Structure 1
Amino acid sequence: MKAVFAALIAVLTIPGCGALSALQGEPDRDVFDLRPPVDGMRQCSARGRAELTVEPPKSGGDLDTERIMIRPNPLQVQYLPDARWSDTVPTMVQTLLVRTLGSYDVFSHVGRAPLGMSGDVALLTEISDFNAVTGEGGTRILMRIDAQLVEEMGATVIARRQFRADVPATSTATAQLIPAFDAASQQVLSEISTWAVGAVGRGATCR
């Protein structure tokens, strides 16, 4: 009993997050984030501005995690042992959408919740793929997000579209996978923002 107590005291004296990881049996992992594709305000030729609410994306349970997924085949799920995202995949995607769409002046406000009782338009998304795949064709990053823009007042669907990215990676090593994830994410986010601005801004052009 004394030996067990001494071991516990030794673990508790480990500085920082290492102590918690050791207690939970979890290894330390490098933490990664992804970037929005735009930096600074985008000026658009649109009349009137709408308030946009970005709802929390839906996903399967295997994606609702901070772990970085790899699929060696369509029926198997694995995760990188030495790395994780800064947040769960749905929360990270929601943050990226808010930051990306918030850079367009077509929208008076972009956020996770409306400023008042309800906003003008809601963006609803579902993440089907956000992972690396391996196979005879090499390693690739697949992303697929289904999106809908809904007018909140009348619960009317304004537009609906699926967005996909397929980006090659040189290997399954973390140093090669993360830049490929970033490239795929920026492609999908750029396409979603162009589509949303066009649908809500009625064909607005931006610079």
Structure 2
Amino acid sequence: MTRSLPFGALAAVLLATLLAGCVSALVTRPPPNTYDLTGPRELPKVSRAGRAQVLIPAPTALQILATQRIVVSRGSLMAYYPDAQYPDTLPNVLQARIIETFELSKQAHAVGRPGEGLSIDYQLLTDIRTFNVVVDGSGMVADVEISARLMNDRNGRVVDFKVFRARVPVTADTAPAAVAGLNQALDQVLIELTSWALTRL
């Protein structure tokens, strides 16, 4: 005579089976591929560059951009490339690249993050308006748009404001091709942004 398991025992067996499957998936699934944003490797010399100390906070951004995920848009649909990420949230990565670009110029007295103890002359306040690959009927482009305000830290007055944008063709609808295009567009934006800011310090 076959005896069935009590309901409680059967539920426990099913739960254990499900948990085992979840743990197995967590253990065996590979981590996402990580793609970095590199920034420019050389800059044109800027005339009239000052010797001020500049604070560079992390840029602000909408929540869909303020993540490690790589954004692709198709019309009004915003999505992420699967199994691909930046090494940190996009605002933190861009903050690091802006600082590195200023350091590469060797034309600012000092640049740094909040909390590093600099005696600040100016703050460079930025906002990431667009940072994604756009897919439409005409093809694919990497679209980067960053607004910048240069603020005198002594009196809180905004010295100047400008929006920087670059669009670069993307060769394929894949994460590596997307990041390659975004890197090219970002290089253009960072060169223009840094040159603009240096002439106003």
Query: Could you state the TM-score of these two structures normalised by the residue count of structure 2?
Result: 0.82
Distance 2:21 2:173 in 1: 35
- Asked whether the 8 Å contact 1:56–1:94 carries over to 2, the reply is yes
1:162 to 2:163 alignment: yes
Alignment of 1:139-150 (within 5 A): 139-150=140-151
Alignment of 1:88-103 (within 5 A): 88-103=89-104
Match for residue 33 of structure 2 among 22, 30, 41: 30
Paired amino acid for 2:81: L
Does the 8 Å contact 1:31/1:84 carry over to 2? yes
Shift of the 117–82 alpha-carbon distance from structure 1 to 2, 3 Å rule, reads closer
Aligned residue runs from structure 1 range 14-25, under 5 A? 19=27
Equivalent residues, number: 190
Shift of 1:4: 4.8
Contact 2:123/2:150, CA 8 A, preserved across alignment? yes
**1:42, 1:103 within 8 Å by CA — same for their partners in 2?**
no
The answer for unaligned runs of 5 or more in structure 1 is: 201-207
**TM-score normalised according to structure 1 size:** 0.80
For the pair 1:194 / 2:195, whether they are aligned, the reply is yes
Q: Which residue of 2 aligns with 1:65?
A: 67
Question: Measured at CA, do residues 97 and 173 of structure 1 come closer, stay the same or move farther in structure 2, by a change above 3 Å?
Answer: same
Cα 1:48/1:138, change in 2 over 3 Å: closer
Say if 1:48 and 1:196 are closer, same or farther in 2 by CA, change over 3 A. closer
The structure-2 alpha-carbon separation of the partners of 1:101 and 1:70, relative to structure 1 and needing over 3 Å to count, comes to same
Q: What percent identity do the matched residue pairs reach? A: 28
Tell me which amino acid in the other structure corresponds to 1:34. L
Question: Which ranges of structure 2 fall in alignment gaps of 5 or more residues?
Answer: 1-11
Distance 2:184 2:44 in 1: 21
Q: Is the 8 A contact 1:59 1:127 kept in 2?
A: yes
Q: In the alignment, residue 51 of structure 1 is paired with which amino acid?
A: Q
Q: Is the 8 A contact 2:56 2:123 kept in 1?
A: yes
Residues 31-50 of structure 1: per-residue CA shift (max 9 Å, x gap): 000112035x9876657611
- Tell me the SS of whatever aligns to 1:146: strand
AA matched with 1:190: I
| Higher Rg | 2
Cα distance in 1 for residues equivalent to 2:46 and 2:142: 32
| Cα deviation code 1:91-129 (max 9, x no counterpart) | 111111011112223222111126437511100011110
> Equivalents in 1 of 2:119, 2:151: separation in Å?
12
The 1-side partners of 2:156 and 2:103 are apart by 22
Distance 1:99 1:162 in 2: 20
